[in-house]
Each structure stands twice: as C-alpha cells, then as structure tokens.
Amino acid sequence: MTNELSVAVVPVSMLNQRVADLLAGQLPPMWVSGEVSNLTRAASGHWYFVLKDEHAQVRCVMFRHKAQYVAWPVSNGDKVELYASAGLYAARGEFQLGVDSMRQAGRGALFAAYEALKQRLQAAGLFDPDSKRALPAHPAAIGVITSPQAAALRDVLTALRRRAPHIPVILYPAPVQGDGAAPLLRRAIEQANDRAEVSVLILCRGGGSIEDLWAFNDEALAHAIAASRIPLVSGVGHETDFTIADFVADVRAATPTAAAELVSPDGLAMRQHLGQLQRRLQRAVARQLEPRMQQLDYLARRLLHPGQRIAQQQAVLQQWQQRWQRAGSQLLQQRQHRLQQLRWRWQACRPDLPRLAHRLSQLQSRLGPSLQRQLQNHAHRLNTLAARLQALDPTAVLARGYSLVTTANGQVVRQPGQVRTGDALLIQLAEGQLQARVSPPAPQQQTLPLELPKTDGA
C-alpha cells in the first residue's frame, strides 16, 4: 500500500509520450510487408492507410515529402514493402508506422480474387445494364437487408422517416461482416422474394476495409441478387467503396442514406406537388363552375311559373290577333281605294260625245278662215322674197348698162393694178360678151357718170 502511494501520477499525454520514446529507442527502422487498405490521400498531400495480412493490421502514415517519391499510383489491394519506424501517435494513443519509403511487391490476394470474380461475373452477363430493373416510383413497402446493430440501418430509417414516413419498412436481419455473413445475406434476399411483401430491397452496411466488406464480394450472393424478382439497391460502404454486389444490383447508391433516398419518394416534394395539383384542380373546377353558375342564373331568370307562361302566351296571341285584324282592315281599305281609283280612271277614259261633236263643229268652222289667212300670209311673203331676189340679180344690174370685167382665168377685175398692158379681158354685158385687151391706162375717173349712154334698144 505504501509503495502504491509513493508512485507518481502522470497524465495520459505524458504516458503516451514515454511509450513513443520507448518504441523509437527500442525498435529501429525495418522493412515490413503487407497489403494496402483504406488508403486516404489528405488535402495536405499526406497518405493514411492500413497495412495488413491474413492475421493482423497496423495503421500507417506517409508524409507528403516522402510520398511524392513513390513512382506508381498506389491503390487499395496493392502488395507493398515499407521501410518504416514503429511509433505511437501520442495524441490518440494509436500505434502506427511512420513510412519512409515504399516499393511494390505485387497485388494482394484478396484484391486479385475480387478482380477475378468481377471479370467472371461480367462475362456471365450479371452486370448487363439491360437486365437491370427499374425502381418503383411509389413503393408499397421497402425491405432493408442489414444487421440490426449496423449504423447503416439507423441512417436508412432516418432518411425514410424524413422522406416517406407513410411507407412501411420491413427489416430482413443478416450479419454484414464475417465468414458466415454471405450465406445469411443470400438467405435474406431469398426470404424477401418468397414473402413478396415489399416493392424494393435495400442491401446496405457502412464503410470498412476490403476484409470488412468481403461478404458482399461473394459469388453466390451475386447470383442471388441477379435472380431477385424484387428490384434491389446496393448501399454498401462509402462512395469510394465498390463491391461485387454494387455491380450486380439494379442500382448502386454511394451510401446507405443515398440508397434510402433512391427508393423513397420525397414526401416534401410530393406534398408541394400535391398542393400545386390541388390548387390547379381548384382553379380548373372554378373555371368549370363559374360559367355553369352563370348559366344557372340565366336559366333561373328564364324559368317562369306556368301561369305566367300562359299569360305571356295569351298576350302574344292577343297581339297577333290585333295585328291580323289591323292587317285585314288595311287590306280591305287598300282594295276599296284601288277600286275607286279604277272607277275614276274608267270614267275619265269614257268619251263625252256631245261635247266632242260641238268641239268638232267649232274646229271645222275655224279651219276655213284659218287656212285662207295662212295662204295669204305665205303669198305675201313669197312676193316679198321674189322682189328682194330680183333686186339682187346681177343680170338686172347689167341691164342698166353695167358690165362685169374678168381676166382670162375668170378673176373679177376691180382695180387697174390687177392687170397689165396687153392682158386679155372678158367683158360680160347684159346681152353677150366682149373680148378686149388692156391698153395703156387712161386718166382715172373718180365718179361714175350720172347718166348712162343710151343704147339702141333703150
């Protein structure tokens, strides 16, 4: 008891630091072989991974200034040899290897088996996209194949409760890790198909190493997934984890939560869409009802009591009767007026013989004196015109002693300048013609003689 009280009490950080110093001093750097798993490349450039074999595993860290000299793209499943120092990460008390260099030692056995099975199943057509079944848009029930203790189950149930709380969820329990997990997973799929109580299945578990997920790389499980009549969604591991079940499943989800979201309709979106449809339906019904209500009001206004309808018909009948009477009376008056006009016209066209005989007698008595006066007037006018014509007769002028002098071409000579000495002239007298020639001009006589020389016949 006294010895225990005398031992100094140290904090955890000091204990971890002492262990780290002890490991560093007792274990020199060495070459360690194993298979890379859970490789993570941090944004800082440092590598974090697990080195394992069939019986054990150890955490490793390779800092950026050393990882940059690795000459090939390291991936999970690579068989490697590390030159590393054993140590303790004091902040978390975790044993780890600090890697100084890495060299390739061949692909790991598990990864090689995984690749061989993948190629064999792909050649058999289990990965064919044409064989994939479509997921139901509104499943009646959702089945989940996983371990009841798995954190993935809580993620799936949380997502389903949030998105579609109205859809029943049925759990088909099966272990998701270990040697006997694959047959039980296969049995769970067969049981779900036999019971046929769900519309879609979710096969899920959380992330892990390739050993942790190895049950989902089982060939018999792959055939069971392909033979399932119920569409199956694989949600195994994280986004970077791929298993044979992912390739065979109808749909592969990156995480269990994503698988739940794929198989369930979004309740909020459905409610919003339903609200939109409800509002559209209300508007459509209103558009249909409004004209019907207006038509109903119009018909209601037109709807009358039978007594009112009879009274209206009687009023219309009375109006027609009055119009018929007025039309008949007007037609009769028109016919009577037309008859009177015809009578007047007939009377106007009937001859008045005594009056016409008296008129004829008067016209006969007036006709003789009128004709005599007309004849006398025309005779007087004729004499007047004859006297005027006689006065204008050129032969009468010639008879008084005048003559008409013309040139040889018949032009009347009115002045001496029209002819020249020696020109032939034709002189027309009252009784005959004379021909003469122009002699030199005599003195011009300004006036005519008052008396013409008498001829023998005067």
Whether residue 207 contacts residue 233, with contact meaning beta carbons closer than 8 Å, is answered with no
How many other C-beta atoms are found inside a 10 Å radius of the C-beta of residue 59?
Answer: 15
pLDDT of residue 449: 56
Residues 216 and 237: their CA atoms lie apart, in Å, by: 10
38 token code pair: 């859970």
| Amino acid type, 84 | A
* The 3-state secondary structure of 121-134, one letter per residue: HHHCCCCCHHHCCC
pLDDT of residue 448: 54
The DSSP secondary structure of 44-88, one letter per residue, reads TS-EEEEEE-SS-EEEEEE-HHHHTT--S---TTEEEEEEEEEEE
pLDDT of residue 458: 38
pTM of the model: 0.46
| Amino acid type, 278 | Q
How many other C-beta atoms are found inside a 10 Å radius of the C-beta of residue 110?
Answer: 19
How many other C-beta atoms are found inside a 10 Å radius of the C-beta of residue 33?
Answer: 13
Residues 89 and 97: their CA atoms lie apart, in Å, by: 9
| Amino acid type, 357 | A
Residues 433 and 430: their CA atoms lie apart, in Å, by: 8
Q: What is the maximum span of the chain, computed from C-alpha positions, in angstroms?
A: 222
pLDDT of residue 108: 60
| Residue showing tokens 């994939």 | 132
Ordered per-residue pLDDT tens for the chain, 458 residues: 555 656 788 888 888 888 888 887 788 889 999 999 999 999 999 999 999 988 899 999 999 999 988 877 898 988 888 999 998 888 888 899 999 998 877 556 677 788 888 899 989 898 999 889 999 988 999 999 999 998 889 999 999 999 888 899 999 999 998 888 999 999 999 999 999 999 999 999 987 777 778 899 999 999 999 999 999 999 998 777 788 999 999 999 989 999 999 998 877 777 788 888 888 898 888 888 878 877 877 777 777 677 777 888 888 888 888 888 888 888 888 888 888 888 888 777 777 778 888 888 888 888 888 888 888 898 899 988 888 887 777 777 777 778 888 888 878 888 887 888 888 888 888 778 888 888 876 555 555 555 555 545 43
Whether residue 98 contacts residue 24, with contact meaning beta carbons closer than 8 Å, is answered with no
- Provide φ and ψ at 148, rounded to 5°: -60, -25
pLDDT of residue 52: 93
Of 410, 408, 401, residue with least CA distance to 424: 408
pLDDT of residue 107: 54
Q: Which residues contact 208 (CB under 8 A, 6 or more apart)?
A: 177, 237, 241
Residues 207 and 199: their CA atoms lie apart, in Å, by: 26
Rounded to 5°, the CA angle 225-230-236 comes to 50
pLDDT of residue 59: 94
Q: Which class for 107: exposed (0-12), middle (13-18), buried (19 or more C-beta within 10 A)?
A: middle
Whether residue 166 contacts residue 194, with contact meaning beta carbons closer than 8 Å, is answered with no
Rounded to 5°, the CA angle 252-255-258 comes to 80
Q: How far is CA 187 from the centre of its chain?
A: 55
316 token code pair: 């219309």
Whether residue 172 contacts residue 184, with contact meaning beta carbons closer than 8 Å, is answered with no
Whether residue 203 contacts residue 190, with contact meaning beta carbons closer than 8 Å, is answered with no
| Residue showing tokens 């005594």 | 354
pLDDT of residue 457: 45
Q: Which residues contact 136 (CB under 8 A, 6 or more apart)?
A: 199, 200, 231
The H-or-E segment that residue 163 falls in is helix 151-163
- Provide φ and ψ at 240, rounded to 5°: -85, -5
